[in-house]
Amino acid sequence: SGWEIQNTRLFEAQLQLKEGAYEYRDYRDDRVYTYFTLRSGETKRFFIILTASYRGSYSMPAVVCEALYDESFSARRPGFAVEVRR
């Protein structure tokens, strides 16, 4: 891909991110899993910081949110094309 995922836990205080509380976050090479509790009527925002690494045209994957044990609760934001330039 054209970017690297940054582990925000390493510099969270510097960014002053106003993220929702989460129980656990798992950083992988190509994705981030965030585990959190969401009560009825509650909203949360999470941020993933990317650093552009390679120029080119890429596909940003969909964002998916699913209940851990109940697949009837889910949300999906479709992916889109992205171009990394100098």
Taking only the tens place, the pLDDT of each residue in 48-85 is 888 888 999 999 899 999 998 998 999 999 999 999 98
Residues in the chain: 86
N-to-C CA span, the chain: 15
pTM of the shown model: 0.81
User: DSSP characters for 36-63?
Assistant: ----TT-------EEEE-S-EEEEEPPE
Cα–Cα distance measured from residue 70 to residue 60, given in angstroms and rounded to the nearest whole number: 26
**Per-residue confidence (pLDDT) for residue 56, from 0 to 100:** 95
Taking only the tens place, the pLDDT of each residue in 28-53 is 988 999 999 999 999 999 988 888 88
Domain boundaries defined on the chain: 3-84
